[in-house]
């Protein structure tokens, strides 16, 4: 089987990491993947190539309509000789639909959607256009894959087709993400943090939707109440070179009590060093991979009730309402008040849950089953 994946760009985000994991998993099951990237593959280029996938980068400026590149795009789609075509996110879904039609291909097409819609996200204009076009064209793909129940329900409510909706939760690599006393001490030594320091981590890019401001307020409140906690932030633009972040920390009195690590490729090491991971998102999350990864490391998690975070955590973590700083603070206090043994038991339960229900193997199997199902659709329906 040959699968063509169409995606706008490949940054270090949840959907992009799902694509990477899927490429790696499918390669081991005899699937040949081709990735058509409208912009560039960025820092994940090497990992895509290492997965065995063919990579085609068009280097179109982000947000531009690629009218002059259409002939080359159509040629690339035909050259992929794909048995199945899959779009990734709104831009990739729309591009896959247009290019498949222009190439006159009978190959079945799937879409994938990796975000929720409530509270209403502030999409850029080009993304709003892609979302609206998706709503009009959503009956065309054989399947529309959502990574969470919340995402599926909200898109159907917004006018997306319901009959071809499928839910495949993101998977977690429990072999890569696992508890490690050695890594815990290594990272703490690197950061100058004692083994008994209570470290609150948040691994998320700098974006308003991620709710960093609320987390900073909650941590400042804990310190004001005499709790000697330390905040660790990692992700794109979570670094000293970000003046907005530095102003936020300075205003809360946390400059000396926060480690800003920027974008990292060793998330498994960072996770292992934490006492708790917090995902304080305001909106936009569907099925956050970062929660599953922390759970696999036996790190107790606290998340806002956005997307399927509550479903992922179950009773193995703490869930609070979004944009509720007092509730966020109280949730952190609950974790602080637990005995080390109680926190360890919560972490162990979290790893067991993610391993049993949301493993990477089960995710890859679900995608492969869906590709096979799409191939069995009669030819008369494949273009619809």
Are the CB atoms for 115 and 108 separated by under 8 Å? no
Are the CB atoms for 23 and 360 separated by under 8 Å? no
Q: Determine the pLDDT at residue 6.
A: 96
Q: Determine the pLDDT at residue 307.
A: 87
The answer to whether residue 382 scores a pLDDT higher than 60 is no
Same-domain pairing of 267 and 316: yes
Q: What CATH number does residue 378 fall under?
A: 3.40.50.2000
- C-alpha 333/C-alpha 347 separation (Å) is 17
119 upstream amide cis, omega within 30 of 0 = yes
Same-domain pairing of 280 and 336: yes
When divided into structural domains, the chain yields a total of: 2
Is the pTM higher than 0.85?
Answer: no
Same-domain pairing of 228 and 166: no
Same-domain pairing of 347 and 256: yes
The answer to whether residue 379 scores a pLDDT higher than 50 is no
The candidate with the shortest Cα–Cα distance to 264, out of 288, 299, 239, 301, is 239
Lowest-confidence segment of 6-10, 63-67, 169-173, 315-319 by average pLDDT: 63-67
Q: Determine the pLDDT at residue 312.
A: 95
Q: How is 105-123 classified by DSSP, letter by letter?
A: ----EEEEE----SSPP--
pLDDT-derived band of residue 111, with 50, 70 and 90 as boundaries?
very high
Q: Determine the pLDDT at residue 67.
A: 66
User: Is 244 part of any domain?
Assistant: yes
Q: Determine the pLDDT at residue 12.
A: 61
- C-alpha 70/C-alpha 219 separation (Å) is 50
């Amino acid at each position: 089987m040959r699968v063509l994946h169409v995606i706008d760009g490949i940054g270090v985000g949840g959907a992009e990491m799902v694509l990477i994991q899927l490429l790696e998993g499918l390669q081991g099951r005899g699937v040949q993947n081709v990735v058509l990237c409208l912009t560039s593959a960025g820092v994940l280029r090497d990992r895509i190539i290492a997965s065995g996938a063919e990579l085609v980068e068009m280097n179109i400026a982000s947000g531009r309509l690629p009218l002059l590149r259409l002939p080359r795009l159509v040629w690339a789609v035909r050259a992929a000789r794909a048995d199945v075509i899959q779009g990734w996110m709104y831009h990739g879904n729309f591009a896959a639909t247009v290019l498949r039609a222009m190439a006159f291909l009978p190959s079945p097409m799937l879409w994938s959607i990796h975000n929720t819609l409530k509270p209403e996200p502030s999409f850029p204009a080009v993304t709003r256009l892609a979302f609206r076009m998706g709503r009009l064209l959503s009956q065309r793909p054989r399947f529309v894959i959502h990574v969470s129940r919340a995402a599926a329900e909200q898109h159907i409510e917004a006018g997306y087709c319901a009959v071809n909706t499928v839910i495949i939760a993101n998977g977690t690599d429990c072999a890569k993400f696992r508890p490690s006393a050695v890594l815990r001490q290594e990272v703490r030594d690197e950061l100058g943090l004692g083994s008994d320091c209570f470290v609150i981590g948040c691994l998320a890019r700098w974006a308003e939707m991620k709710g960093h401001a609320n987390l900073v307020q909650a941590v400042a409140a804990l310190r004001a109440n005499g709790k000697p906690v330390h905040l660790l932030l990692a992700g794109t633009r979570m670094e000293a070179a970000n003046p907005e972040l530095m102003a936020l920390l300075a205003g809360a009195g946390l400059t000396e009590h926060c480690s800003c690590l920027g974008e990292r490729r060793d998330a498994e090491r960072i996770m292992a060093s934490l006492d708790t991971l917090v995902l304080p998102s305001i909106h936009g999350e569907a099925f956050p991979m970062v929660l599953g990864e922390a759970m696999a490391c036996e790190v107790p998690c606290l998340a806002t009730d956005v997307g399927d975070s509550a479903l992922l955590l179950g009773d193995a973590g703490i869930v609070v309402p979004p944009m509720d700083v007092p509730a966020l603070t109280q949730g952190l206090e609950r974790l602080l008040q637990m005995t080390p043994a109680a926190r360890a038991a919560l972490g162990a339960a979290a790893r067991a849950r993610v391993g049993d229900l949301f493993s990477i193997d089960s995710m890859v199997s679900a995608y492969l089953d869906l590709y096979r199902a799409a191939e069995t659709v009669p030819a008369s329906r494949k273009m619809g």
